[in-house]
Structure 1
Amino acid sequence: MRAEVQNTVAEIEKSIELLKQRLDWETAEFRLEEFNARVEDPNLWDAAEAAQKLMRDRQLLVDAIDGVKALMTDLSDNIEMIELGEMEEDAEVVKDAEQAIFALKETAAEKELEALLDGEADSNDTFLEINSGAGGTESCDWASMLARMYVRWAEKRGYTVELQSMTPGEEAGIKSAAYKITGHNAYGWLKSESGVHRLVRISPYDSAAKRHTSFSSVWVYPVVDDNIEIEVNPSDIRVDTYRSSGAGGQHVNTTDSAVRITHIPTGIVVTSSEKSQHQNRDIAMKALKSRLYQQELDRRNAAINEAHENKGDAGWGNQIRSYVLQPYQMVKDLRTNHETSDTKGVLDGDLDGFMAATLAMDVAGKSRADAQGE
């Protein structure tokens, strides 16, 4: 077996061992048996919410166990194919098996990262808000480019994307947009995207073709599921209805169906502008509870809290990532130094490398903090 392939096999085996450690492999099958026994309880669905959580937790464990077993089987099978091909001097068989092992390395690395998404809300769906910042029309256009980028990223992952509200820019783009993104680990992956994003390019709105710098902010917070209780005092909120100015036809533009909820103690404002006022109240209240829950998560995590406090306005000096289209092509994350010259790919939703780098950095930081605290 070639040295390059041997090294790749060693990396896959290391990933498998790390996955086993995080899954507590020695007890995983016993825990699954316990889940199965509880699922067979005839009184399970007497408490529907608890039953749903049990079914979700069981499925997560099943997927994790099956994922590790699949990696082990695929690795073993392809090693055997290489050995067989070398014994029979069949170069084509060896080549195919080697390519499969190289591909398996990527799969193992992704599963290893996903296993790190074990925060309290990482597995939840998520809300994503985008707001234009300093830069006028340029910034509004940049905000719309970011919105498209995240929608593309979510769709590539098979997530469901629902537009909650949108305020168009005066000349182009959007002033703000809010989305709900539904899918396993949606919040865990997207949470690292909160912050200010900076764009440098030749402006399509400048007749002199000068280079412009624009800023927009992104805020990500988890959808609160049924197992997390967030109480909102009715006296702490103000509910306003108003006429939507966005697209949506005659009904949206002629009735006060859009809803804005302001949480007075914190100043949090959430909006929804679907056609039904009742639906908008429900959407906005869920968004408010999620924002309040995110606030609680921030209090528990000093690093996240500091990041939000220092986020500041969407302008110079506060950015987490720069997207440079002129005079050269480069997207660089200023926290991890992860970068790529494939700006088109990034703006088309190729964000996994940036998210993985931030997640790995956060996990390494927590591990150091835990070690220092011992």
Structure 2
Amino acid sequence: MRDRLADVTALLAMALAEDDTAVLADLAGELAALGDAVAAVQVRMRLDGAYDTHGAVVLVRAAAPDDPASTALAEALLRMYRQWADLHGLPTEVVTEHHASVAGLREATLVLAAPYAYGLLRGEDGRHAMTAADPFDHGRTRTGHALVEVSPLAQDDDPVALADEDLRVDLYCVRGPSRAGETRSTLHIRHLPTGIGVGLPYDRRARHRKAEAIRIIRSRLLVARGAPRDVRGYTAPSDFDGAARRPSP
């Protein structure tokens, strides 16, 4: 960054001496980009948690899987996290995605295998709420609730080991419409002591899928959070007491 700033300073002197407006415009863009880069470094200098430099596993779940407002919020949250990652050049992969029967999203798991993703996203961990107008009932609003769980993406040397006897591996096959004759297979791995489970499509990458599922389970076990959480599942109370956060674009 010092080298970039030195180059801009030297070019600026020449551009001013020659009154070169085109070069001045280019330098203004370079200074803006340099300012953004410095701001990003300043943010990362504050990320000093134990796992802040790790990638992230983001679990988004509708609080009530049969509530359209909640499933719509879960879908909106997943979309915003992916857009945010694209804006910052972070690679993403949606490894699990379960849609609601009517509309929206019941649950999805998003993996960001990029440095500092966990440090940048861990503030999103918790309960979210959003109130919006009901498109089918004018004049009425509905409030959707969703849970976001952010975990550091486990590395090979992280202190979380899973014993084989603690894992249950199941393969589910679901047949599609009779005319299509298509069969979909899902590999589901559950950690028996905690009930944490991950289901991934079972295909020719089966061995890779199993390793991927185990890594996600290790990630969700990696950090002991200050607030107790039932890792077997989450259901919002009827009044959804506690702090709720509105998602920002």
1:106 aligns with 2:36: yes
| Corresponding residue number in structure 1 for 2:60 | 130
Q: Which amino acid aligns with 1:283?
A: E
SS in 1 for 2:241: coil
One-letter identity of the residue aligned with 1:321: R
Counterparts of 1:206-285 in structure 2, within 5 Å, are 206-243=136-173, 254-255=183-184, 257-276=185-204, 277-285=206-214
Aligned-pair CA distance for 1:263: 1.9
The code of the aligned residue for 2:199 comes to T
Residue deviations 1:56-107, cap 9 Å, x none?
Answer: xxxxxxxxxxxxxx2x334455556777888x69696888767765654433
Alpha-carbon distance in structure 2 between the residues aligned to 1:97 and 1:162: 36
Classify the secondary structure of the residue corresponding to 1:317: coil
Match among 97, 100, 111 for residue 166 of structure 1? 97
Which shows bigger deviation, 98-107 or 184-193? 98-107
SS for the counterpart of 1:322 is coil
The aligned counterpart of 2:88 is 157
Per the TM alignment, residue 224 of structure 1 is displaced from its structure 2 partner at its CA by: 1.4
Q: CA-to-partner distance for each residue in 1:249-281, whole Å, 9 max, x for gaps?
A: x68x625x3122222222322222343554443
User: How do residues 1-374 of structure 1 correspond to structure 2 at under 5 angstroms?
Assistant: 70=1, 72-76=2-6, 78=8, 101=31, 104-134=34-64, 136-204=67-135, 206-243=136-173, 254-255=183-184, 257-276=185-204, 277-293=206-222, 297-298=223-224, 304-306=225-227, 313-314=235-236, 316-323=240-247, 331=248, 346=249
Residue 320 of structure 1, CA deviation: 4.8
Unmatched runs of 5 consecutive residues or more in structure 1: 1-69, 299-303, 324-330, 332-345, 347-374
CA distance in 2 between partners of 1:283 and 1:94 (Å): 49
After superposition, the Cα gap between the structure-2 partners of 1:229 and 1:207, relative to the gap in structure 1 and judged at 3 Å, is same
Larger radius of gyration: 1
SS of aligned partner of 2:213: helix
Question: For residues 209 and 241 of structure 1, do their structure 2 counterparts lie closer, same or farther at Cα, with a shift above 3 Å needed?
Answer: farther
Q: Is the 8 A contact 2:72 2:144 kept in 1?
A: no
Q: 1:96 to 1:152 in 2, by over 3 A?
A: closer
Q: Which has the larger helix fraction?
A: 1
Aligned to 1:215, the other structure's residue is in SS state strand
Aligned length in residues: 238
CA deviation profile, 1:116-174 (whole Å, cap 9, x unmatched):
33433222222111100147012112211111111111122222222211111010011
Query: Would the alpha carbon gap of residues 231 and 147 (structure 1) be closer, same or farther in structure 2, given more than 3 Å must change?
Result: same
Output the CA distance in 2 between the equivalents of 1:244 and 1:168.
15
1:187-245 Cα offsets, whole Å, 9 max, x none, are 221222111121111122x2334111101111111221222243212222322322359
Q: For 1:103 and 1:270, locate their aligned partners in 2 and report how far apart those are by CA, in whole Å.
A: 40
Matched residue type, 1:317: D
The structure richer in strand per residue is: 2
Residue in structure 2 matched with residue 47 of structure 1 by the alignment? none
1:290 partner letter: S
Go from structure 1 to structure 2 and tell me whether the alpha carbon gap of 1:156 and 1:85 turns closer, same or farther (over 3 Å shift): closer
Q: Whole-Å Cα distance in 2 between the matches of residues 320 and 254 of structure 1?
A: 40
Q: Equivalents in 1 of 2:33, 2:207: separation in Å?
A: 49
Q: Distance in 2 between matches of 1:126 and 1:106?
A: 23
- Cα distance in 2 for partners of 1:289, 1:85 equals 55
Counterparts of 2:152 and 2:12, CA distance in 1: 45
3-state SS of paired residue (1:147): helix
**Secondary structure, in 3 states, of the residue corresponding to 1:198?**
strand
What's the % identity of the aligned pairs? 26
